């Protein structure tokens, strides 16, 4: 097991996790319920984390995450329905699935 990525915003983590999964790399989320209340950042030791199960996949998983970070443009946007923040690369709200307006 190796830690690939950690970020205070669970939405960003879930996206990284699914990108890694799409590459058929076995990975898991940790601390996914540890983040603080809405709009409040958890302490860094409680940030959600993405881990690869097999150490040999680490390099590949890291480059996938890096590439996805470069693709992020602009600030997070706020959902009109539920007020959650989603990364700029999301077209729909990660929380409730509402279209971005
Ligand atoms: Zn929403």
28: helix, coil or strand? Answer: strand
Residue listed under structure tokens 């077209």? 91
What are the structure tokens assigned to 59, written together?
A: 């390099």
| pLDDT averaged per 10 residues in sequence order, the chain, 101 residues | 90 91 95 61 73 97 86 81 90 93 81
Give the Cα separation of 6 and 14 in Å (integer): 11
Q: What pLDDT, on a 0 to 100 scale, did the predictor assign at position 49? A: 92
Distance from the alpha carbon of residue 29 to the mean position of ligand 1, in angstroms = 22
On whether the 2-73 domain is CATH 4.10.260, my answer is no
Is the pTM value of this prediction over 0.85? no
Q: What's the pLDDT at 17?
A: 94
What residues sit around ligand 1, an ion, with C-beta below 5 angstroms? Answer: 79, 81-82, 84, 93, 95-96, 98
Q: How many CB atoms lie within 10 A of CB 72?
A: 14
Res 73: pLDDT: 66
Q: What is the distance in A from the centroid of ligand 1 to the CA of 85?
A: 8
Cα 53 to ligand 1 centroid, rounded to whole Å: 31
């Amino acid at each position: 097991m190796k830690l690939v990525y950690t970020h205070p915003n669970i939405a960003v983590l879930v996206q990284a996790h699914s990108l890694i999964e799409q590459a058929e790399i076995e990975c898991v989320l940790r601390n996914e319920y540890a983040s603080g209340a809405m709009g409040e950042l958890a302490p860094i030791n409680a940030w959600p984390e993405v881990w690869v199960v097999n150490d040999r996949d680490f390099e590949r998983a890291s480059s996938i995450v890096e590439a996805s970070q470069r693709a992020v443009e602009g600030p997070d946007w706020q959902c009109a329905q539920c007020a959650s923040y989603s990364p700029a690369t999301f077209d729909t709200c990660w929380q409730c699935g509402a279209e971005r307006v």
